[in-house]
Amino acid sequence: MERMQLAPGVYLTTLPADKFKRCRITIHLRFPALRASATDTAVLALVLERGYAACPDMTRLSRRLAALYGAELGVDLAVGGVDRVLTADICGIKDEYALAGENLTEAYAGIVLGVLFDPHLVDGVFDPEAVRIEKETLARRLQAEYNNKRLYCVRQARRRFYGHGPAAIEVGGYLKDLPAVTPATLKAEYDRILQSARIDVTVQGADAARIGELLLQKLGGVPRAPQPYAPPLAMPRQAPAHYREAIPGLTQAKLCMLFTTGTPEPLPDIHLLRLAMCVYGGGPTSRLFRNVREKQSLCYYCAASAQSATGSMLVDSGVEPGGEERAEQAILRELRALQDTPPTPDELEDARRALLSGMDAASDSLAAQESWYYGQILRGEEPIDPAEAQARTRAVTAQAVQAELQRYTLSVSYIVTAGEGNDNG
């Protein structure tokens, strides 16, 4: 891995890709999240994916990608700590597999850079027709959240957990804000992002120097003031709040529990945090899987994950209606057991082996490799390779896992279940 700074707040990472048949270019723009423009940001990602100045039409762009042997272009908006990350990536077969000797990688670079830095504008703002269409698309997506009850339950729990704090800003935006989104507000948000973002480009299997050069050309006329990453936070501890939402006709109940550390400091070592989650609820050897699912048959899925930047841990589960409280108690019992007594040597080593194996596999796909390094950059860490991460994971002790899990207390429990009548804490 090679990483270099091209300009203030602009970095280029090159990763080896000799064994792959495709190449990939990924551009991340990380910028502060704002409640006021959250919906503009969400619409912007959709509008950018439709096309760019040199290829403004969505169908033409799709056909262009198909002609490049089905190259895949993605524009995605995600959460990075408490910030937002707008990512554009393109992945396609290497030049050597082109049937007519085309220079595919140059074409890939042109498209992915064009999508982010040369948007299709009409009279200085985004195309009104594209904005109208994508506002409707976003509206449908936001409404569709309810159709996926597992996702809906998790999001409802997060809303109760984060309240009105910075981590509560919805990455998908707000339905009620959509009418105020215009081509001009979108352009203002685009300019804010370009100005404030820290930019990370990752090149795998293509000419990195050429892409770096093209990127700097694109940024030439842009007034830049890259912002630092938002600091980590944690929701204060509170007495557990229980919410219950009844949905007539639902067959399987969903349970989502959110825990807090109460304070973001000390920021946990990522290797320790991963191992702790793996032992508690991260796979078929975890306590939640073995005991709550397999031994007690209380649920079909039951998994734990943690986010260091917000000092939170989430457990979500699909349970038999009427068995929600029993499942919740079983999940808490397993946590208390690990808080009271460190994991056994066998279960610690089972979890550790699973993690070590996963780290080896990080170099076996372009996307996983890119995600491995950018994940560390997102957390503000000095990137290390999988071998070094494995060494650090091997050093984690059972007592450290116990101490890490002792930091979490339950804040919010949200149940979506069959029947009628709601109880909102």
CB of 243: closest distance to another protein in angstroms?
Answer: 15
Q: Are strands 253-260 and 198-204 parallel, antiparallel or unpaired?
A: unpaired
d(CA 172, CA 331): 30
Count of C-beta atoms within a 10 Å radius of residue 77: 20
Q: How far is the CB of 401 from another protein (least distance, A)?
A: 16
Which CB atom, from 82 or from 302, has the smaller least distance to another protein?
302
Q: How many other C-beta atoms are found inside a 10 Å radius of the C-beta of residue 42?
A: 25
Beta bridge partners of 16: none
Instruction: Supply the minimum distance, in Å, between the C-beta of residue 81 and another protein.
Output: 28
**CA-CA distance, 281 to 289, in Å (whole number)?**
7
In the complex, the smallest distance separating the C-beta of residue 356 from another protein, rounded to whole angstroms, is: 6
> Which residue lies nearer to another protein by CB, 360 or 388?
360
Question: Measured from the CB atom, is 34 or 250 closer to another protein?
Answer: 250
- Nearest to another protein of 100, 239 (CB atom): 100
Nearest distance from C-beta of residue 355 to another protein, angstroms: 8
Query: In the complex, which residues of this chain contact another protein (CB under 8 A)?
Result: 18-22, 58-59, 62-63, 66-71, 91-93, 97, 99-100, 133, 136-137, 140-141, 143-144, 146-147, 149, 247-252, 283-285, 293-294, 297, 299-301, 318-320, 350, 353-354, 356-358, 360-361, 363-366, 420
Residue number with CB closer to another protein (5 or 147): 147
Please say which residue, 270 or 354, places its beta carbon nearer to another protein: 354
Q: Least Å distance between CB 206 and another protein?
A: 15
Least distance to another protein, CB of residue 196, Å: 28
Q: Which is nearer to another protein, 28 or 149 (CB)?
A: 149
Nearest distance, CB of residue 63 and another protein, angstroms: 5
Minimal distance in Å, beta carbon 7 to another protein?
A: 33
Q: How far apart are CA 192 and CA 197, in angstroms?
A: 8
Compute the least distance from the CB of residue 29 to another protein, in Å. 22
Closest to another protein by CB, 18 vs 225, is 18
Cis peptide before 266 (omega within 30 of 0): yes
Q: Which CB, 238 or 365, lies closer to another protein? A: 365
Whichever of 38 and 65 has its CB closer to another protein, that residue is 65
Shortest CB 197 distance to another protein, Å:
25
Q: Would you say 137 or 217 has its CB closer to another protein?
A: 137
Q: What is the 3-state secondary structure (H, E, C) of the chain?
A: CEEEEEECCEEEEEECCCCCCEEEEEEEEEECCCCCCHHHHHHHHHHHHHCECCECCHHHHHHHHHHCCCCEEEEEEEEECCEEEEEEEEEEECHHHCCCCCCHHHHHHHHHHHHHHCCCEECCEECHHHHHHHHHHHHHHHHHHHHCHHHHHHHHHHHHHHCCCHHHCCCCCCHHHHHHCCHHHHHHHHHHHHHHCEEEEEEECCCHHHHHHHHHHHHCCCCCCCCCCCCCCCCCCCCCEEEEEECCCCCCEEEEEEEECCCCCCCCCHHHHHHHHHHHHCCCCCHHHHHHHHHCCCEEEEEEEEEHHHCEEEEEEEECCCCHHHHHHHHHHHHHHHHHCCCCHHHHHHHHHHHHHHHHHCCCCHHHHHHHHHHHHHCCCCCCCHHHHHHHHHCCCHHHHHHHHCCCEEEEEEEEECCCCCEEC
